[in-house]
Amino acid sequence: MSIVETSHLSIGYLKGKSRTLVQSDLNLELNNGEMVCLIGPNGSGKTTLLRTLAGLQKPLRGDVKIKNKLISELSQQEKALEIALVLTDKVQIENATVRDIVTLGQLPYTHWLGGLTDEGREKVDEAISMVHLKQKANYYLNELSDGERQRVMIAKALAQDTPLIFLDEPTAHLDLPNRVEIMLLLHRLAHKTQKSIILSTHELDLALQAADRIWLMSETDGVICGVPEDLVIDGSFNRIFQSEVYYFNATNGNFSMNYPLTKELSLSGDKTRLYWTLRALARSGFYVTANARTHINITEKGWEVNGEISPTIEDLLLKLATFTEI
Amino acid sequence: MQSRNTILFILLTVLLVILFLADITLGSIRIPFNDTINVFFGNSTNNINSEILLNFRLPKAITAILTGASLSVAGLMMQTLFRNPLADPYILGVSSGASLGVALVMMASSFLPVLFISSGWGLIIAAIIGAALVLLLVVGVSFKVQNSVSLLIVGLMFGTMASSLVSIMQFFSNPDAVKLFVMWNMGSLSAVTWNYMYVLFPVILTGLLISFLLTKRLDGLLLGENYARGLGIPIIQTRILIVIATGILAGSVTAFTGPIAFVGVAVPHIARGLYRSAKHQFLMPACILLGASLILICDIISQIPAHALPVNIISALFGAPVIIWIILKRK
């Protein structure tokens, strides 16, 4: 069942009298308990789409429906009961503890002074332990690392107890362990609590692994939706992330650089070593074909060229550099 | 945590009461404490003493409390609204806006009914409107200027412009009106007689009430505009209410006491430091208690010399270093 639907949605922004159209005629659907990753080059409108879906900005045309109700007809308070946000805005509050911030997530449910109900307090505790910050609940915000702060904002969104969570680049500025951790956390949340999650990200490989569905945005082709693997196989990724200097490698889900390859070699040997040797050779401008004049044989001892064995790739590359005719 | 805050509130309340009594007891004319008590219980035979205490020192002490509380709460709300630790009614030109309003009433409007001016309502309404208008201008600029120090400079410019307009008006007004205005502009807590108190007190109470109703929204605003909207806070309505409340608090006080600098910026920081919290639910009453105590202290100090000093000189003396400290701490 879909919880968010858009029909003929055009997004963009108004600046003075000029209108900048970013994407037009989008017909998107988000299902219950599904995690969607929003991927696309810079300028393809990821943030604009998220803001429009969240009702933070108006669509240029078309409409957004949440639970079959037009978002433009919901009050700010009603929206807060459906959608929780994690944004890229920097949060810097003096003297605020982790618990203080997470408690703000309960704001839509509290009376005018902001006092918590017992149920609300439970929700806050639960949110804090879900992001593994129980030990640091009484720490001040400025005592936390970037990754922990991001988890605090996610906990705030969880404490808001909404069926929808939208996150704008939640993994930006984080190191790899934190990025993986946050993606896993969100994936688990979507499946365990049946919340629907949309997040924008630049982490292609992580998104491919964690997302139930990808919304692939491009400046020219609109938004392509699908299960990640389908989009890889049908070449959508390759098309959208095409460039002269890199290409999307469908075999491993990574971007690979396009080196100018002018010299040829042939290669044989064990699989893992073969892979890494290929990478090193590509960086030095070699491509591998079956019938090249020079052949490298990879063995347990090292890399054998013309009867000489190099113990390391570094040594091999030095040796290859002395060959004038390859 | 909770009990610590309770103890702090009790201590601050006791401090405020002591300072209030001290402010009434101390002054250039010595009145023994026994006599003071007698006057308040109606047993005094000394007419001069009871005149001084009841019609001079008591309204002055109450004005000090109202002034400190209003300016501090106004400062707290402005700091949250602009997400700027240095915001305060004086620095951002709000007090100057109030002065401009008062100047307009006193000098440019000889056609207004006398009663309107002498009852205090004319002054207070003009000051509130002036304060709120400058605040609106600063809010408008704050959308364009993100840097907090730049915003302060813009505020200073608004203040300077308001002051220039006042000077121009002085130049063209009749001498009587100018004299009236100059007297007002020197500002003092003793300007509020009982007649004026009947105006000032309910107005400030209204301002404080609106502020208390905004505590939850102010908490949300700390996260920034977008997050606040995501939490269901109607941003534009909240901004307008903050401008109204701040205008009422800063404007009405300025209408009678003249501009008092730096209390609004310093007190919220002291409150945050003491309570180690960012919740307005605590900060707002803390600002009221601390701000009131602070102005009482300033008033007590200002009476030490034979001729009482204006209270805003004392408040600037310790308030300005607090601003320097905040700027240094942020680097």
Distance of CA A187 to the CA centre of its chain: 12
Task: Name residue A53's beta-bridge partners.
Answer: none
- Whole-model pTM: value is 0.85
Interface list for chain A against chain B, based on CB atoms closer than 8 Å: 54, 56, 75-81, 83-85, 87, 89-91, 93-96, 100-101, 104-105, 107-108, 110-115, 160
The pLDDT assigned to B204 comes to 95
Mean pLDDT is lowest, of A44-58, A105-119, A147-161, B109-123, for B109-123
The number of beta carbons lying within 10 Å of the beta carbon of residue B189 is 30
pLDDT at position B179 is: 77
Phi, psi of A223, rounded to the nearest 5 degrees:
-110, 125
Show the tokens assigned to A192. 């365990």
Q: Return the bridge partners of A11, or none.
A: A23
Contacts of A239 (CB under 8 A, 6+ apart): A218, A221
Q: Which residues contact B83 (CB under 8 A, 6 or more apart)?
A: B148, B221, B222, B224
| pLDDT for position A51 | 92
Per-residue pLDDT, A90: 86
Residues of chain A positioned with their CB less than 8 A from the CB of B273: 95
Write the Ramachandran bin of A16: left for phi over 0, alpha for psi from -120 to 50, otherwise beta. Answer: left
The answer to whether B216 faces chain A, any CB pair under 8 Å, is yes
Across residues A139-143, what is the average pLDDT? 90
Best CA proximity match to B225, nearest among A314, A148, A87: A87
Cα separation, B133 vs B140, in Å, equals 11
Domain A2-249 has CATH 3.40.50.300: yes
Tell which wins on pLDDT, A90 or A101. A101
Which CATH fold would you assign to the domain B2-330? ABC transporter involved in vitamin B12 uptake, BtuC (1.10.3470)
pLDDT digits (tens, 9 = 90+) for B3-12: 888 999 999 9
Task: Please tell me the predicted confidence (pLDDT) of residue B42.
Answer: 73
ipTM for the assembly: 0.81
Distance to chain B for A221, nearest Cα, Å: 29
Average pLDDT of every residue of chain A: 87
Shortest distance between the Cα of A147 and any Cα of chain B, in A, equals 18
pLDDT beyond 80 at A217: yes
The predicted model gives B40-46 an average pLDDT of 72
Q: What is the pLDDT, as a whole number, of residue B1? A: 56
Residue B118 banded pLDDT, cuts 50, 70, 90: low
Choice between B141 and A200, residue whose per-residue pLDDT is larger = A200
In DSSP terms, A18 is beta-bridged to A15
Residue from the list B226, B229, B278 with its beta carbon closest to the beta carbon of A100: B278
* Å between A273 CA and nearest CA of chain B: 50
Q: Would you state the pLDDT for residue A127?
A: 92
Domain-wise residue ranges, chain B: 2-330
| Cβ contact B232–A100 (<8 Å) | no
Backbone angles phi, psi at A139, to 5 degrees: -75, 150
Judge contact between A6 and A49, C-beta under 8 A: no
**Contact by Cβ (8 Å): A211, A36:** yes
Q: How confident is the model at residue B80 (pLDDT cuts 50, 70, 90)?
A: very high
Tell me whether B229 touches chain A (CB under 8 Å): yes
Domain limits of chain A? 2-249, 263-322
Give B278-308 pLDDT, tens digit per residue: 999 999 999 999 999 999 998 888 887 767 7
Residue A52 with chain B: CB contacts under 8 Å: none
Integer Rg of chain A from CA: 25
